[in-house]
Structure 1
Amino acid sequence: MSPARLVSLSGVRGLRKGSQALVVLAVLVLAACGTGTDAVEQGGTFDFVSPGGKTAIFYDPPADRGTIGKMSGPDLMTDGKTTSLSDFAGKAVVINLWGQWCGPCRGEAGDLEKVYENTKDLGVAFLGINVKDYQQDKARDFVTDNNVSYPSIYDPAMRSLIALGGNFPTSVIPTTIVLDRSHRVAAVFLKSLVAQELQTVVERVAKEQQ
């Protein structure tokens, strides 16, 4: 977020908070580089703006949308495999942040799978980001028990969210992000979803002319 926008949102206090956010982000970037186990990069243009209590945020027109940074990491279900957002070039992508410890995540899992099955032939991909699950076997059990057929990145430390910039809320799980075919952010849902609500948005975004 630029200094001008920070001032317009909350004045000097916003600048102070923005500086703190940049420091935290810098620490996260250094930590990611230091481990040598993460393949997360910045470089996107997406700038999440606090929605004032809204749980469904839409970014239109498409020309005004920002792109997220490069995102990749260990595949949850396959040892030694890396899964990346770039695997889905040219497709609309639904990114879902989830954890097996999260009750609402369990509630929406079937709905997300349903939308995935209903839209994958339209050129839509789904990508899960498994967060705060430090026991990988439990996260894998969640996938198996809920018949989730799309891939997830295993990211207990939430380092992949660096690709969303330093201003994106990390405390709301589940979160679902809908990217258009150019991988620009078209919608963000800070809540659990039902199939009909998500599918309407996904179909609209998939049909857009890029």
Structure 2
Amino acid sequence: MRSDRLWGRGGRRAGRPVAALALVALFALLSGCAGSENAVSDNGEFTFVSPGGRTRLFYSPDERGRVTGLKGESLADADNTIRLSDFSGEVVVLNVWGSWCPPCRAEADDLQAVQDELDDRGVQVLGINVRDNRDAANDFVHNLDVDYPSIYDPSGRAMLALNGFPRSTTPATVVLDREHRVAAIYLTEVTEQGLLPKVRDIANENSGSGGAGNTGDSGDRGGSSSTGGSSPSEEREPGR
């Protein structure tokens, strides 16, 4: 939908009422387009839309799109396939990483801390290892004492389940609620301080109630939670 279409010749005094009506109509059209930043397509599946420079996105329950079909070869065992459906009813923290990525190395202990803290709350961190080789990736996992599983996805094929998600963005973290709907996206390095309160709030959402609403996490880089409406909200966080 184009918002820069011509309004017609309304510069003359006699044309002002027409121009005013056109302005009202334009606002109505723009309001109808607000959902273009929504993470939900018509069929309820997740569809990523460019965030316009934002790096942290938080979706209210009514705008969350579901991720399905995500699967791939296990990094630890080439004969084993890891499927998102293996974690039915759990909050899943998807982390896109590579052994060649310094920020990925910096955030590994933070992700492990989230796993350790919330394991008994039905939270599972799941890595997606991209553009890597298996030996280097396994060395990364062992050297940094990472014990959560990862999908080995050098070609980015498994990432296709995140419809439209930028596979070149590394690191990236996507938090799925218990229905495996996208609740939060971090297109940047995460910290335990920034990630843990948000994941805890998502894990605390009442099953079937549609979400936690306003969380107000002081440690989550800015303090506000997902907002209503059709556009995701963003929270800021100070540097490490």
Q: Report TM bin, short chain.
A: 0.7 to 0.9
Query: Is 1:198 matched with 2:198?
Result: no
CA displacement, residues 187-208 of structure 1 (integer Å, 9 cap, x when unaligned):
0000001101000110010011
Q: Matches of residues 163-174 of structure 1 in structure 2 within 5 Å?
A: 163-165=161-163, 167-174=164-171
**Offset of residue 64 of structure 1:** 2.2
Residue 142 of structure 1 corresponds to 140
Q: 1:10 to 1:129 in 2, by over 3 A?
A: farther
Decide whether the 8 Å contact of 1:44 with 1:70 is kept in 2. Answer: no
CA displacement, residues 64-84 of structure 1 (integer Å, 9 cap, x when unaligned):
210012111110012311111
Q: 1:10 to 1:169 in 2, by over 3 A?
A: farther
What 5-or-longer segments of structure 2 have no aligned partner?
Answer: 6-42, 209-240
2:95 counterpart letter in structure 1? N
**Offset of residue 8 of structure 1:** 5.7
Partners of 2:47 and 2:156 in 1: how far apart? 18
Which structure is higher in helix share? Answer: 1
SS at match of 2:142: helix
Q: Matches of residues 65-76 of structure 1 in structure 2 within 5 Å?
A: 65-76=64-75
Partners of 1:169 and 1:153 in 2: how far apart? 17
Name which of 166, 170, 176 aligns with 1:179. Answer: 176
Residue 47 of structure 1 corresponds to 47
CA displacement, residues 138-189 of structure 1 (integer Å, 9 cap, x when unaligned):
1000000011111000000011111011x21122100000000000000000
What 5-or-longer segments of structure 1 have no aligned partner?
Answer: 1-6, 12-42
Residue 155 of structure 2 corresponds to 157
Residue 25 of structure 1 corresponds to none
The structure having more radius of gyration, on CA atoms, is 2
Decide whether the 8 Å contact of 1:58 with 1:187 is kept in 2. Answer: yes
Paired-residue identity, %:
48
> TM-score, with normalisation over the residues of structure 1?
0.77
> TM-score, with normalisation over the residues of structure 2?
0.68
Q: RMSD across aligned C-alpha pairs, in angstroms?
A: 1.7
